């Protein structure tokens, strides 16, 4: 009999009827008949007499006790994924013994066994497959976990927190007792048992705590863990320096196994990774591999505060932890390498994967209002667009203001399960500003469009910019968003002009210098008037991709080429060259459709070779600047994608660039080869 489909809605949220402040678990591990004994301290919340309903899926419940007394079968029911006890006191200890089958747990949720290793995955709703529990993130508990297993088959026994006791038993088994002193929701529970070896190191926090760092892997992978260990130490130091956040336990463990079903999971003090996000050697790993490891290790570590110490009240708040932590790992990576290169890579990723999601039939806001299965909302929108929304806070408040907001957020909510409104209120209150309009980002789907119209008054030397925002996915009834547009103006020689704002000053925030401002577009249409602008000047809009939008600017090829050559913002110089490439590719797709010969834009070719000539000045940035827009992004410009023609015309342009500038390519390659030393991930 199929289980009834239930739609969960944000508006239906109610606090839990019971809290579980303390949890004691004992596992006697067996591939097909693992015994789990739980001891839960339970307290009724509020003046009600409701029964206790615990999530309990895919298990066999053997016995149920309340305050030491075994309940008769008539006093409890296990049906439709719930353990139901209708009559319970206000405070009591519940003990449950149940059996689970990790080997045949093909859902890979809860506790499962793969390739001889026991492993868990509890986010979002996997803990209910381990033992009966209130499996929701606003139930936060202190955990003590005893693991018992055959010592020969499972010599390593790991769980959350600090190891407080271990020993051997008479029957060839051994045990480990773990205790986590920090309250956490059930989705952060973790257990690993198997034949693993570890790389060990130490880190001393800014508070003087010495932390043992261990990366556990299958024995044949131990020689590939050194880079991940260094990435972990870098991320720990960075979080202290950037956000004042120190690690809070005596040990931090990472487990990397080939068969882990997720990319990585931030379980408190016991992060579990798929091996591809930990293992690397210079002989076989690429730059992309190293960058991925550095970013994912940092991301999962950063969750210790943004996700674990402060967690989500309910799963509708997922972007609270994921959007914020993606933003934090982006900032970390930017500080390790070149900020502009990281920003461009993030924009490419956003446009390639998230923009199509926003434009398609599965579009949803970063805070969904309803779901049937929560696993379906671990999306590019919740993560990547969520990170862009967090970045808007930093753009509006500045780095120092954003840090003040983060400090207040942790001061108010450490140890709590909270909401996106709590985060917004902390940012607003710490800086004395009104941020209520940011709410519109959380509840509306789709990518905003901003149309820019220019008018130049030559006699008064005034440039008027009229910006109009829209949200095509919502339509005319959309609520205006907060869109900070970082901008400047270049004169005809390519020099940045000081900005003299004649109208619209109230909407302008300081830029990085006197030649720039951040125009905060908060209405459907707003106007900015700049004075003392000489003829031939060109506005430079959306520097640093300061808002996740589609910008509709009426620039000519010559103007884009001017920006590509002279704008001081690395992102906008890259963007200008991409716009030129995009336009000449689309023009030639149309020529191909008409049966005409291909003809490449002179402005594009000139701008392209100018960048190629300077490629050695900044190889990482130029590697991006000299890459053509990919076919996915090209296809996004069309309602009906001419797949074959786009492929053909892009291939033809690459061939033309290779042939036309072959001597220059050869010289750049030879000079780069001369500069090469032993491999180092330091581009």
Q: Residues of the chain with pLDDT > 70: what percent?
A: 99
> Which residues have CB under 8 Å from 171's CB, separation 6+?
none
Q: Supply the pLDDT for residue 679.
A: 72
The closest alpha carbon to 178, from 187, 191, 169, 168, belongs to 191
pLDDT at residue 260, rounded to an integer:
84
What pLDDT is stored for residue 110 in this prediction? 98
pLDDT of residue 337: 87
Cα 348 to Cα 271, 289, 343, 571, 576: the distances in Å are 28, 17, 9, 11, 14
| pLDDT value for 682 | 65
pLDDT attached to residue 1 = 43
Of 443, 469, 487, the one marking the end of a domain is: 443
Residue 216 included in any domain = no
Helix (H), strand (E) at residue 502: strand 500-503
* pLDDT on residue 2: 53
pLDDT digits (tens, 9 = 90+) for 30-46: 999 999 999 999 999 99
55 and 184 share a domain? yes
Whether 524 and 626 map to the same domain: the answer is: no
Tell whether 581 and 454 lie within a shared domain: no
Q: Is the pLDDT of residue 485 over 60?
A: yes
Q: What is the dihedral of CA 627, 631, 633, 639, to 10 degrees?
A: 150
What integer best gives the mean pLDDT of the chain? 97
Same domain, 427 and 375: yes
Q: Are residues 438 and 323 in the same domain?
A: yes
Task: Calculate what percentage of the chain has a pLDDT beyond 90.
Answer: 95
Kindly report, residue by residue over 445-472, the tens digit of the pLDDT: 999 999 999 999 999 999 999 999 999 9
CATH of the domain at 350: 1.10.390.10
Residue 128 is part of which domain span?
A: 8-195
1 in any annotated domain: no
Report yes or no on 277 lying in a domain: no
What are the CB-based long-range contacts (under 8 Å, 24+) for 588-591? Answer: 588/649, 588/652, 588/653, 589/642, 589/645, 589/646, 589/649
Assess whether 509 and 576 both reside in one domain. no
8-state DSSP, 259: T
Residues 386 and 365 in one domain: yes
452: part of which helix (H) or strand (E)?
strand 449-457
pLDDT at 441 over 60: yes
The total number of structural domains that make up the chain:
4
- Nearest CA to 25 out of 8, 38, 35, 41 is that of 38
**pLDDT tens digit sequence for 642-679:** 999 999 999 999 999 999 999 999 999 999 988 877 77
Mean pLDDT of 607-625: 96
Candidate list 300, 388, 516, 589, residue with the active-site label: 300
Among 424, 443, 462, the domain boundary falls at 443
Residue 222 domain-assigned (yes or no): no
> Would the pLDDT of 339 be above 60?
yes
Q: Of 243, 143, 155, give the one whose Cα is nearest residue 187.
A: 143
For residues 28 and 61, membership in a common domain is answered with yes
Q: Domain boundary residue among 195, 216, 233? A: 195
pLDDT tens across 103-125, in order? 999 999 999 999 999 999 999 99
What does 142-162 look like in DSSP terms, one character per residue?
EEEEEEEEETTT--EEEESSE
Task: Tell me: do 12 and 161 sit in the same domain.
Answer: yes
* Residue 300 annotated as catalytic: yes
Q: Are 401 and 431 in contact (CB under 8 A)?
A: yes
What are 251-289's pLDDT values in tens digits? 999 999 988 888 999 999 999 999 999 999 988 999 899
User: Does 178 map to a domain?
Assistant: yes
In a shared domain, residues 465 and 439: no
Q: Are residues 538 and 562 in the same domain?
A: no
Per residue in 208-228, pLDDT (tens digit) is: 999 999 999 999 999 999 999
pLDDT given for residue 676 in this prediction: 77
Q: How confident is the model at residue 550 (pLDDT cuts 50, 70, 90)?
A: very high
Residue 173 covered by a domain: yes
Q: pTM, whole model, 2 decimals? A: 0.97
Residue tagged 């110490």 (tokens)? 309
């Amino acid at each position: 009999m199929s289980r009834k489909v239930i739609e969960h809605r944000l508006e239906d949220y109610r606090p839990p009827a019971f809290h579980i402040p303390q949890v004691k678990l004992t596992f006697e591990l067996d591939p097909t008949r693992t015994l789990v004994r739980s001891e839960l301290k339970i307290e009724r919340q509020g003046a009600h007499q409701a029964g206790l309903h615990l999530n309990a899926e895919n298990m066999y419940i053997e016995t149920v006790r309340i305050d030491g007394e075994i309940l008769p079968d008539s006093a409890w029911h296990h049906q439709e994924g719930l353990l139901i006890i209708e009559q319970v006191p206000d405070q009591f200890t519940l003990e449950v013994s149940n059996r689970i089958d990790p080997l045949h747990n093909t859902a890979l949720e809860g506790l499962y066994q793969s390739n001889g290793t026991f492993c868990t995955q509890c986010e979002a709703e996997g803990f209910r497959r381990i033992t009966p529990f209130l499996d929701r993130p606003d139930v936060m508990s202190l955990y003590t976990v005893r693991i018992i297993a055959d010592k020969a088959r499972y010599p390593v026994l790991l769980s959350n927190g600090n190891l407080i006791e271990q020993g051997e038993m008479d029957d060839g088994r051994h045990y480990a007792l773990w205790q986590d002193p920090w309250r956490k929701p059930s989705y952060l529970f973790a257990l690993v048992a198997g034949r693993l070896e570890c790389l060990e190191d130490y880190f001393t926090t800014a508070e003087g705590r010495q932390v043992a760092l261990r990366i556990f892997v299958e024995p044949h992978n131990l020689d590939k863990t050194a880079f991940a260990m260094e990435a972990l130490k870098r991320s720990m130091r960075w979080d202290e320096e950037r956000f004042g956040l120190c690690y809070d336990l005596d040990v931090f463990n990472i487990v990397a196994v080939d068969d882990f079903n997720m990319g990585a999971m931030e379980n408190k003090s016991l992060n579990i990774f798929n091996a591809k996000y930990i293992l690397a050697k210079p002989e076989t790993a690429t730059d992309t591999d190293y960058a991925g490891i550095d970013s994912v290790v940092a991301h999962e570590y950063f969750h210790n505060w943004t996700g674990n110490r402060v967690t989500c009240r309910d799963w509708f708040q997922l972007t609270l932890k994921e959007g914020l932590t993606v933003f934090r790992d982006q900032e970390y990576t930017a500080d390790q390498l070149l900020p502009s290169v990281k920003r461009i890579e993030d924009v490419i990723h956003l446009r390639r994967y998230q923009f199509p999601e926003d434009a398609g039939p599965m579009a949803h806001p970063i805070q969904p209002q309803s779901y049937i299965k929560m696993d379906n909302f671990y999306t590019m929108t919740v993560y990547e667009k969520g990170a862009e929304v967090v970045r808007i806070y930093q753009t509006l408040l500045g780095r120092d203001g954003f840090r003040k907001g983060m400090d207040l957020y942790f001061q108010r909510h450490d140890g709590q399960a909270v909401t996106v409104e709590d985060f917004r209120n902390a940012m607003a209150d710490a800086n004395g500003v009104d941020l209520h309009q940011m709410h519109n980002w959380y509840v509306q789907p789709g990518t905003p469009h901003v149309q820019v119209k220019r008018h130049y008054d030559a006699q008064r030397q005034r440039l008027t910019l009229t910006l109009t925002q829209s949200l095509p996915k919502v339509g005319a009834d959309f609520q205006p968003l907060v869109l900070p547009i970082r901008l400047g103006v270049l004169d005809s020689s390519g020099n940045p002009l000081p900005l003299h704002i004649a109208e619209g000053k109230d909407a302008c925030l300081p830029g990085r210098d006197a030649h720039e401002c951040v125009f905060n577009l908060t209405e459907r249409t707003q106007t900015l008037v700049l004075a003392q602008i000489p003829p031939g000047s060109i506005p430079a809009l959306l520097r640093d991709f300061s808002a996740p939008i589609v910008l509709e600017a009426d620039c000519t090829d010559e103007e884009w080429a001017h920006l590509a050559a002279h704008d001081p913002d690395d992102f906008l110089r890259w963007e200008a060259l991409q716009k030129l490439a995009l336009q000449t590719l689309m023009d030639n797709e149309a020529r191909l459709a008409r049966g005409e010969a291909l003809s490449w834009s002179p402005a594009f070719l000139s701008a392209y070779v100018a960048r190629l000539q300077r490629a050695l000045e900044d190889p990482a940035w130029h590697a991006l600047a000299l890459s053509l827009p990919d076919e996915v992004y090209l296809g996004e410009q069309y309602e009906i994608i001419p797949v074959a023609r786009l492929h053909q015309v892009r291939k033809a342009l690459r061939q033309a660039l290779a042939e036309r500038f072959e001597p220059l390519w050869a010289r750049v390659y030879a000079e780069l080869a001369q500069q090469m030393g032993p491999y180092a991930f330091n581009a």
